[in-house]
Amino acid sequence: MDLMQMLQAQLSEPVIGQISRQIGATEQQTATASNGIFTALLGGLAQNTANKDGLSALVAALDRDHDGNALDDLAGFVGGMLTGSIAGRNTNGSGILGHILGDRQAAVAQNIGDKTGLSSDQVAKLMPILAPIAMSLLARMLKKTPQEAPSPAQGSGGMGELARVLMGSAQNAQKGDFGDLLSGVLGGLSVPGGTQSPTSGGSIFENILRKVFKG
């Protein structure tokens, strides 16, 4: 299961057009920048869930604030966010970004802007639009696979499945055009309490999983 591909598939032409007009960019620029933002979000999620507390917090947030139904009419959902007619925790893109990327948001926006020809301000406008889409997709994924859906009360089995999906998807994203977001801006997805080479590839993710689920 590759979350990057699934996220890209959500951005239909009408949705891309809608967002492009909002940030004042071409559809190609918006699509490319979206790939960079999704890469950063996956990397940030992989980093933040590299311990059981982080995994539990993510699952709790998905259960509390997101149900995945936004994906049933994504154009309407995005339109509602842009006009302010839809509001709530599930549309709080700035809050989601704060939890996932923290103070690295400006560096992410600058990196993506340099690669796409967009200004960092344009990328910064795009980021909170896409963050709720990513969370909706995670919620939908868990909802569709209840037998695998982790909860904070479960052992490492279900939580390990979520971690593996996030780690695997981030690892795949690292091979793309925005891989340096993970190895540079996000610090190489290093294991908490240890160090890893930004270029050590899959071993980063394997070591994170061993760190989280050892024993």
Highest mean pLDDT among 50-59, 79-88, 108-117 belongs to 108-117
DSSP for 152-181, please give it.
TTS-HHHHHHHHHHHHHHHHHHHTSTTHHI
Smallest Cα–Cα separation from 183: which of 8, 39, 32?
Answer: 39
For residue range 144-179, what is the model confidence (pLDDT) as tens digits? 654 444 443 343 445 667 778 888 888 888 888 888
Considering the chain, what percentage of its residues have pLDDT values greater than 70?
Answer: 78
Residue-wise pLDDT for 10-22, tens only, equals 999 999 999 999 9
pLDDT at site 144: 65
Q: What is the dihedral of CA 160, 164, 167, 168, to 10 degrees?
A: 180
Give residue 148's pLDDT.
43
For residue 105, count other CB atoms closer than 10 A to its CB: 21
Is 80 exceeded by the pLDDT of residue 213? no
